[in-house]
Chains A and B, each alone.
Chain A
């Protein structure tokens, strides 16, 4: 019998474990298996969170120290640094607001741990724009869902349960037709309707997604394709997909930039966007880009209204700069003279580099090499309140404090470092 929450009463919670940000969870004081409306990810998240060492101490090179000592050591490192890198950035809105203030004072470069994926979408949006939708529109309108290169549920487990197999919808839509393109058949179980209807599964390599999407685009433009197959997929199969998309009341095309692991994947995202634009000339369709988690949508939005730019940015004497190529963590690890690694939702380890490193994050962060400074902080939505953006960016929801302990919040710590700079 684990005591999950500070009270013995069932407590409602908002789950920050994925972009769906489900706020209908009920945590019981009795154990993980009794998380009402839980999913694989949320149960893992809350189990992991409630098993943290709430008495974890700050440390310098692995030696425990008090919080103030760690804060002044962190401030020392940043004071000496000319080019610090703030990476990881696994936090929510309030944490990011404080990080932005600190970045301004220390001329830091900012990059989120999942930017490699996010940037594929951002570049497309900045190049051509897109037409997208949100969860409630999918729930009430979508009658055809095309998932490209993603099974959706690995990253967003309750997608089908909440948005696709719902029996209540505003417009009495039929049960949606599901089409998986380039998703391994064994990962398409979630797409089987409650009445047993199987999804359409079109197997193909991830690497051939660009080719297939381009063929779909050609078909939508009534272009003749001379080949019988494209990347092993019969043209007739693709024509059937195109026809379904065209005749849908509201087709939704889902992709996950994280799964498009090939060079210049932004061009493929652009092809997907083009497909959606073409459909909208005569009927309705919309895109739904999935996110990668660890607060990626939250911190990029916060950064954008505070500085004008999403991450992969830098503040130079108060002036923001933006470069999705040069300001990547990978590039900056070679150039920075100090690293501040932040990961509060999950115990992600910092990259191993020789430069002075400050780690502020999850109390259970596994540290192979002891950083100069480690400061364990509370988990947003468990140890303190917070604010989080949903995958569709349109909704921001409060995260609740679920238990009492002495772990400081990230913004407390960052503000103190800022004050002692």
Chain B
């Protein structure tokens, strides 16, 4: 990376993230509500081929018959799906080669976000596919990637330009009728990212997408599809920000990862949607389906830092189908005030000699509820499957809760599974020690929390790690009793 840590810190400091802002871009918004016509209209709007429209309709019909799941350890007022507008796109669809052509207001938003496209282009070597209210408006570094044969574009573009790839892989890992929110997403997804790494190619840079919800009343339904062909490698970063507003916003994304033989995908997320204010008013509902499929000798690694959203419902999973495949899950989930998080992972061992590691750190403060829910499943044929899980929870204050729901199912006698979980609080002696050395209590807590989360933070790419550390501090501000 060309970035030095100092520069990054500086940039992150100016990244006024904590408060919401709202950019007034003329947007074209569909009327509220959802029916077959809306699905057709979205598809038409995106100039999609017939098979895609049919695919969406199939999902919509399945969704109509489904009921919203209630098993998660969260309580919230269910969104009314007929009061949401399912499509909103910046009207002036810019098709530009240089940044000068971009709507200046949009650039202003980026500046607030601290993305600074020019700088990133020059310094970080990160190609950014910025999704602004559902339509991809800026894609950089496409040319460099194209030289390697890497396809990195918005999913609607991919549907138009690489239909064979999309058709082959979309819905193979997360089928349309997988669950309530996945079905909804399949029916109405407006945009998202598509990434294809050809055989044997090692992606030279971290691919990154910034998502933003911008138009009042529009839910964001992103669809991400990452395909790593045989022997390839890609590291993908996903970061989320959302402006502050009153009514709850719905975010139901679907992420599908496909790692073919010997491929490796590293998927890192920093999620910091607006969590609601101190009274628990507002905030984003984050109901995400993320799943990856590993073929022979493939590896998928999920790393996530969850600090935002009023309600999080998210279980990045790995299906270890091929022999010798590896699945990893590293997660930090921080909840404060009235936030609720029910998050974890699923590791499905199907192939022989498959391995999985789960490290989950939950930090709850304020009046929040933080749950880990995980499944480790070893199927009959998965000989010598190996799993290690560790779930640690840290409680701050006596009004919050930490919960662990690990499901472990073993059907093969050669399986080796370990699971351990602890719950603890920050020791008074630890804080006293810091105070004694002139570190105030708030800083001391940040320090201890960072130490607690270190195992996961270490797995993040460098830019994200710095950002994530900052996020942890911001999220826990004011939680010192």
Q: Are the chains A and B members of one assembly?
A: no
